[in-house]
């Protein structure tokens, strides 16, 4: 049922994009089509029951079980100039890297907003790549509590909470893990260095050189 719904919505989005190009001369990018699907499904089939919360005890990073992929993320914040850097790394059941991404942001009001934005970007990239089963792992528990308690409208980060819930609809299963920062070592290292270097990156199957040692620690 889920795949049928997703397939039909995808066909409709592509058909709509084709008509725009044919009759209006307007081209629609693949990213815009994916966003349309996510937004439509989110507005018409709000299913927050798929959002599960797990608090992982102190230990080491663990690879997900097939068919899940694990999306680890973190964010660094510079109070002096209100800059932030969010980092995302996606790995499969063998610990191999699918991709890593570092984004820079300006005019960020607080560290809390930084974490909420990073949560949203972690979910969004999973949806854009069209994964069906994802584990999203980070060290900011307050955002997860807002998601589970449906407090988006009342919280200071309501827009991010809303967007996370909407984006999650495209997944068959989405599990949020809260872990200690040392378990989230790769994402933490990338976010910290990305902010320090003022550097945005997107790598397929790899991470920047300064995070390779931390990746190998996770593999052990």
Matching residue, tokens 């439509």: 40
Tens of pLDDT along 125-170?
A: 998 898 999 999 988 777 777 776 655 555 567 788 888 887 888 8
On whether both 147 and 76 belong to a single domain, the answer is: yes
On whether both 154 and 122 belong to a single domain, the answer is: yes
Whether pLDDT at 203 is above 90: yes
Matching residue, tokens 């991404």: 101
On whether both 139 and 99 belong to a single domain, the answer is: yes
On whether both 29 and 110 belong to a single domain, the answer is: no
CATH for 85: 3.30.420.10
On whether both 30 and 94 belong to a single domain, the answer is: no
On whether both 97 and 194 belong to a single domain, the answer is: yes
| pLDDT for 164 | 84
On whether both 25 and 66 belong to a single domain, the answer is: no
On whether both 137 and 196 belong to a single domain, the answer is: yes
Q: State how far the Cα of 145 lies from the Cα of 68, in Å rounded to an integer.
A: 22
Containing structural domain, residue 39: 1-45
On whether both 83 and 19 belong to a single domain, the answer is: no
In degrees and rounded to multiples of 5, residue 118 shows phi and psi of: -65, -40
On whether both 30 and 52 belong to a single domain, the answer is: no
Q: State how far the Cα of 217 lies from the Cα of 5, in Å rounded to an integer.
A: 41
Give the model's confidence band at 46: pLDDT under 50 very low, under 70 low, under 90 confident, else very high. very low
Higher pLDDT, 124 or 16: 124
On whether both 6 and 16 belong to a single domain, the answer is: yes
**Number of domains, the chain:** 2
Q: State how far the Cα of 99 lies from the Cα of 116, in Å rounded to an integer.
A: 21
Question: Strand 133-138 and strand 83-91: pairing?
Answer: unpaired
Q: Which of 13, 30, 45 is the last residue of a domain?
A: 45
Q: At a CB cut-off of 8 Å and minimum separation 6, what does 185 contact?
A: 61, 214, 217, 218
Neighbours of 142 (CB within 10 A): 13
Averaged pLDDT, 205-220: 87
User: Where are the strands (E) in 9-146, listed by range?
Assistant: 51-55, 69-78, 83-91, 97-105, 133-138
Task: Please state whether the predicted TM-score (pTM) of the whole model is above 0.85.
Answer: no
| pLDDT for 45 | 47
On whether both 63 and 156 belong to a single domain, the answer is: yes
Tens of pLDDT along 49-103?
A: 455 555 555 478 999 999 999 999 998 888 888 898 999 999 999 999 999 999 9
Tens of pLDDT along 52-65?
A: 555 555 478 999 99
């Amino acid at each position: 049922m889920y795949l049928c719904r997703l397939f039909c919505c995808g066909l409709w989005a592509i058909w709509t994009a084709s008509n725009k190009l044919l009759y209006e001369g307007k081209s629609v990018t693949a990213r815009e089509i994916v966003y349309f699907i996510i937004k439509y499904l989110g507005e018409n089939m709000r299913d927050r029951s798929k959002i599960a919360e797990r608090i992982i005890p102190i230990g080491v990073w663990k690879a997900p079980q097939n068919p899940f992929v694990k999306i680890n993320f973190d964010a660094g914040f510079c109070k002096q100039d209100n800059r932030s850097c969010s980092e995302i790394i996606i790995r499969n059941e063998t610990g191999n890297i699918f991709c890593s991404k570092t984004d820079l942001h300006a005019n960020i009001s607080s560290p809390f907003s930084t974490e909420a934005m990073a949560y949203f970007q972690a979910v969004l990239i999973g949806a854009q790549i069209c994964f069906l089963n994802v584990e999203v792992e980070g060290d900011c528990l307050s955002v997860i509590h807002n998601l589970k308690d449906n407090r988006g409208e009342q919280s200071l980060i309501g827009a991010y909470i809303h967007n996370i819930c909407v984006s999650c609809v495209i997944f068959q299963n989405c599990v949020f893990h809260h872990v200690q920062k040392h378990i989230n070592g790769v994402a933490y290292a990338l976010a910290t260095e990305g902010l320090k270097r003022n550097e945005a990156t997107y790598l397929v199957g790899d991470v920047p050189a300064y995070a390779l040692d931390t990746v190998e620690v996770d593999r052990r």
